[in-house]
Amino acid sequence: MKNFRVHIRVFFIALAVLLVAVLFDARTSPGQSKRVARPVAREAGVKPVLKSTGGPASRGERNALLSIELNWTFGGKPQRGWSLYKPLINRLLDTKRDVASDGFASALARWQKKAGLVPGGVLDEETLYSMIKTWQDARLKDRSPASPEQLLTAPISDFYDPTRAEELRQIERDTYAAYKRMVSAAVSNRSLGLARGAKGQLAPGEKYLKIISAFRSREYQEKLRRESPNSGSAGLAVNSPHLTGRALDLYVGGEPVDTRDSNRAVQVETRVYQWLVSNAERFGFRPYCYEPWHWEYVGGKRKAEGSRQ
């Protein structure tokens, strides 16, 4: 009888050990499956979702990722990320905070609310297109070609190319006056490091802020389009604002008018470009977001409207 009780006790102990082992395996298996699946996902080219400590991706993390990963199009051209537009975005949001910061997300949320968007503080595709619409709406509306009496021929010293033909140096009169005021203000800003001439203007050897292109006739614009068939409407429009004489391409660094992302990335980081983003509106100029070098004189009325944005 005593041996029987011992056998029964051993049996129940063994059964308990078996049950504990089964329960432990059931609890740990899901976690093990996740750890195995993650490398498989990476091998398949799936990017893991950014995680903050103990929770889903924060607004800052999502903005940092979207600034380099967001796929969208502009003028029929595929774009990746919005980091090239960060100076314009910061200007629009009135912030200097880093895109990964919560301060940037908060400034963005305030702008989204004013724009009638969900104020989530994440710069997604819908928000980006709304920003682009804001920038595009501030550009020249009337693109009627300039008449000869509206144009003047600027001196060669104002141009990036010292051999530019006289017929390609024409500018609308008010635009030229505003340009000279703007350049004078830039030259007086010592932090830009611009070479000064004897009269406080840009020195002859200075390239920054020199004019690359101004008024273009319709025939000349068509010639440029034939020479660059892949430029599309984003690069060389059929009804270009250059027809008005009120659009100026200015040298802001890098290759003067090269739309490759690598070149634009250089241009938007120059002190001159960032100064223009912050100050050109004071002189009546508005940017074309896709081309850092392209600025349009919209005059006082448009300037006043822009100050309320």
| pLDDT tens-place string over residues 232-248 | 554 555 568 999 999 99
Position 38 scores a pLDDT of: 31
Q: Which residues, in sequence order, are CB contacts of 33 under 8 Å at separation 6+?
A: none
CA-CA-CA-CA torsion sign (251, 254, 260, 264): negative
From 98-112, 118-132, 172-186, 239-253, the region with the lowest mean pLDDT? 239-253
Enter the tokens of residue 86.
């960060």
Span(s) in the chain for CATH 3.30.1380.10: 148-306
What is the distance between the alpha carbons of residues 64 and 49, in angstroms, rounded to a whole number?
A: 12
> Which of 59-73, 169-183, 237-251 is predicted with the least confidence, judged by mean pLDDT?
237-251
Of residues 103 and 52, more confidence is placed in 103
Cα distances (angstroms) measured from residue 257 to each of 31, 203, 213, 282, 294: 54, 22, 10, 24, 9
Tell me what pLDDT residue 85 has: 98
What pLDDT, on the 0 to 100 scale, is given for residue 222?
77
State the pLDDT at residue 50: 44
Which of 3-12, 212-221, 238-247 is predicted least confidently? 3-12
Range 38-64 average pLDDT: 55
167 vs 56: which has the higher pLDDT:
167
Q: Does 137 have pLDDT greater than 60? A: yes
Q: What CA–CA distance (Å, rounded) separates 239 from 149?
A: 21
What 3 state SS string does 164-218 have? CCHHHCEEEHHHHHHHHHHHHHHHHCHHHCCCECCCCCECCCCCCCCEEECCCCH
Tell me which of 3.30.70.20, 3.30.1380.10, 3.90.76.10, 3.90.700.10 is the CATH number of domain 148-306.
3.30.1380.10
Residues ≥6 apart with Cβ < 8 Å to 65: 50, 57
pLDDT tier at 214, thresholds 50, 70, 90:
very high
pLDDT of residue 220: 73
Q: How much of the chain, in percent, has pLDDT values that exceed 70?
A: 73
pLDDT tens by residue, 256-278: 999 999 999 999 999 999 999 99
Work out the mean pLDDT of the chain and round it to a whole number. Answer: 82
DSSP string, the chain: -HHHHHHHHHHHHHHHHHHHHHHHHHHHHHHHHHHHHHHHHHHTTPPPPP-BTTBSPPHHHHHHHHHHH-EEEETTEEEE-SGGGHHHHHHHHT----TTSHHHHHHHHHHHHHTTS---S---HHHHHHHHHHHHHTS----PPPPGGGEEE--GGGBSSTT--GGG-EEEHHHHHHHHHHHHHHHH-GGG-PPB-TTSSB-TT--TT-EEE----HHHHHHHHHH-TT-HHHHS-TT-GGGGT-EEEE--SSSTT---HHHHHHHTTSHHHHHHHHHGGGGTEEEETTEEEEEEE-HHHHHHHHTT-
Q: Is residue 228 very low, low, confident or very high in pLDDT (cuts 50, 70, 90)?
A: low
Which pLDDT band, with edges at 50, 70 and 90, does 290 fall under?
Answer: very high
Whether residue 97 has pLDDT greater than 60: yes
pLDDT at 72 > cutoff 60: yes
Q: Is the separation of the CB atoms in 187 and 194 below 8 Å?
A: yes
Q: What is the pLDDT of residue 146?
A: 94
Highest mean pLDDT among 9-13, 35-39, 235-239: 235-239
Q: What is the pLDDT of residue 274?
A: 98
Considering the chain, what percentage of its residues have pLDDT values greater than 90?
A: 66
